């Protein structure tokens, strides 16, 4: 099997994963450089991480709407410097490794279905995967196929309006992401006078709640109420057979995952509640999904009918 590089390019942290045959060879988590020059800095981080290894292909997650045919980013709310760019083309140029871009929620969902939480539910063929990070990503996988939508823009559960709420980064009001997106939680806690140090993350907020900070407890209570409401909306509209909740914030089991599930169950009326399970790959789901995308693109590019199978990611963006 080929050596594959997965890059989960997050709004706060990026994860690098070198894998062969579904087994991690090496992995690292590094702060994301933001703004102009960010991709060049990322390429430098990757170069140091590889330390001379030569993966056959790379996959990179994009938090936003991606034109997977061209690899161009249409819009990224949390990484706006990517708008209109071709990050894989740039990384390929900088690193000399051909690759493929994949929307971040799609990557995490694919990994959880193929390698993670959903493996224990192989009989269920209708799965919704929610990833809680700086942004909120969703993915619906039916009969093993990711529902990409008509413009490859499906899954934006974070930008469904669920209440009045504040202005979201996307320009709307009352989005789920404005209630439970990592950056939004930190911003709210700072506004409420909570002591987040520079560079603090939502993890610090969870730690403060665990230490008894009532403002932090109240903020997380509000966030999980919003998440429960969104989950009920997804259940009403899609009726999935399984929901997997992952991402960095979901790892705060007692403060995020458990209350959100409890509120979903308590709030259900006519709903057919599916099992709601935590992701198994933790914060590494996106990076695993990126390696799966890299491997699929590699096998597509090596097949005579390359690119004609719409169940595969788009063909690899070559050197």
Interface positions with a copy of itself (CB under 8 A): 65, 75, 77, 124, 126, 138, 142, 147-157, 159-164, 170-172, 174, 229, 232-234, 236-242, 267, 269-272, 274
Interaxial angle between packed helices 104-114 and 285-301, expressed in degrees from 0 to 180 and rounded to the nearest 10: 90
Q: How far is the CB of 91 from a copy of itself (least distance, A)?
A: 24
DSSP string for residues in 264-315: HHHH-SS--PPPEEE-SSGGGHHHHHHHHHHHHHHHHHTSTTTT--TTSPPP
Between residues 220 and 234, which has the closer beta carbon with respect to a copy of itself?
A: 234
Residues with Cβ within 8 Å of 80's Cβ and at least 6 positions away in sequence, in order, are: none
Between residues 154 and 279, which has the closer beta carbon with respect to a copy of itself?
A: 154
- Tell the burial category of 37 from Cβ atoms under 10 Å away from its Cβ (0-12, 13-18, 19+): exposed
Between residues 18 and 234, which has the closer beta carbon with respect to a copy of itself?
A: 234
Cα torsion for 259, 225, 134, 277, to the nearest 10°? 40
Q: How far is the CB of 65 from a copy of itself (least distance, A)?
A: 7
Between residues 41 and 166, which has the closer beta carbon with respect to a copy of itself?
A: 166
Q: How far is the CB of 251 from a copy of itself (least distance, A)?
A: 24
Q: How far is the CB of 153 from a copy of itself (least distance, A)?
A: 4
Read off φ and ψ for residue 62, nearest 5 degrees: -125, 125
Q: How far is the CB of 255 from a copy of itself (least distance, A)?
A: 22
Q: How far is the CB of 161 from a copy of itself (least distance, A)?
A: 5
- Tell the burial category of 171 from Cβ atoms under 10 Å away from its Cβ (0-12, 13-18, 19+): exposed
The SS3 of residue 67 is: strand
Between residues 174 and 200, which has the closer beta carbon with respect to a copy of itself?
A: 174
- Is residue 208 within 8 A of residue 216, CB to CB? The reply is yes
Between residues 89 and 275, which has the closer beta carbon with respect to a copy of itself?
A: 275
Between residues 93 and 149, which has the closer beta carbon with respect to a copy of itself?
A: 149
Q: How far is the CB of 160 from a copy of itself (least distance, A)?
A: 4
**Short-list 148, 139, 112, 142, CA closest to 124:** 142
Alpha-carbon distance of 66 to 75, in angstroms, equals 7
Q: How far is the CB of 174 from a copy of itself (least distance, A)?
A: 8
What is the helix, strand, coil percentage profile of the chain, to 5?
Answer: 40, 20, 35
Between residues 31 and 149, which has the closer beta carbon with respect to a copy of itself?
A: 149
């Amino acid at each position: 099997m080929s050596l594959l590089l997965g890059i989960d390019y997050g709004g706060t942290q990026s994860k690098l994963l070198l894998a062969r045959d579904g087994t991690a060879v090496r992995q690292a988590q590094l702060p994301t450089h933001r703004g102009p020059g960010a991709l060049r800095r990322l390429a430098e981080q990757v170069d140091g991480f590889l330390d001379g290894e030569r993966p056959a292909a790379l996959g990179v997650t994009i938090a936003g709407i991606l034109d997977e045919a061209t690899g161009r980013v249409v819009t990224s709310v949390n990484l706006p410097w990517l708008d209109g760019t071709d990050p894989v083309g740039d990384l390929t140029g900088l690193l000399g490794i051909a690759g493929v871009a994949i929307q971040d929620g799609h990557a995490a969902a694919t990994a959880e279905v193929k390698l993670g939480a959903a493996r224990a539910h192989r009989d269920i063929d209708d799965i919704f995967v929610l990833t809680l990070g700086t942004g909120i990503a969703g993915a619906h996988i039916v009969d093993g196929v990711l529902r990409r939508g008509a413009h490859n823009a499906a899954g934006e559960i974070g930008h469904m309006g669920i209440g009045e709420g504040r202005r979201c980064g996307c320009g709307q009001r009352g989005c789920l992401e404005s209630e439970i997106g990592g950056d939004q939680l930190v911003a709210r806690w700072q506004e409420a006078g909570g002591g987040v140090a520079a560079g603090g993350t939502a993890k610090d907020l969870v730690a403060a709640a665990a230490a008894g900070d009532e403002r932090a407890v109240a903020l997380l209570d509000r966030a999980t109420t919003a998440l429960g409401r969104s989950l009920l909306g997804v259940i009403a509209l899609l009726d999935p057979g399984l929901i997997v909740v992952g991402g960095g914030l979901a790892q705060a089991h007692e403060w995020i995952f458990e209350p959100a599930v409890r509120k979903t169950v308590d709030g259900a009326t006519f709903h057919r509640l599916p099992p709601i399970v935590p992701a198994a790959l933790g914060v590494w789901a996106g990076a695993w999904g990126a390696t799966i995308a890299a491997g699929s693109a590699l096998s597509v590019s090596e097949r005579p009918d390359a690119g004609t199978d719409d169940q595969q990611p788009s063909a690899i963006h070559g050197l």
